[in-house]
Structure 1
């Protein structure tokens, strides 16, 4: 069994996932629009270019997402969940924290904790909460 996180956006899913792929050196093998899906023919034209499914692959791990569809009701943002990245070096922790956090809001600065050489949290500019954890002191 595999367990993957799935993120829902309010029209900026493609921008977010392209950014994540660039920062995390990942690949986007699947990026499908509502216009590509059966049953979406009557969707408003301005929503047809939104993402119905995207898959990001990074080092054998998967993060998926989409834009909210009108059938889902009013988009209320992301709540109660964080994506955690465990990295091997402090340099990588700093790089990712800076790149993904740019334009967002730091909720805990990247610093030494009792369990990690560096740990920090932030909400990125797309509203996704992240935790960066580096347990090694390298």
Structure 2
């Protein structure tokens, strides 16, 4: 199944936002990883910031991050989880037309085939594929 999940960026306030949303929506943190826990360095990232987290409640799921200091977007991205690499590549390539590849499609340390692209309107898309 393919799913689209909002991915929010908080520029250093992700842990605070996670606690806030847990209280407001009576939800829980599904996953949380700091930049310091990643096996590679990320330009502009504070090691104590949240690299990736999920927030889950009975209404919805959000993915969240502090991002990096190098980011210039509006603090939101679309995270599309897929199960077909050929379709992932087709969509990625179409989004990249007149856009900008942020991270090319590649296998990652977290087990997904992943890439990021900003489309021609400036919206960022994060394409995850678990199919090999």
Q: TM-score, normalised by structure 2?
A: 0.49
Mark the structure with the bigger radius of gyration.
1
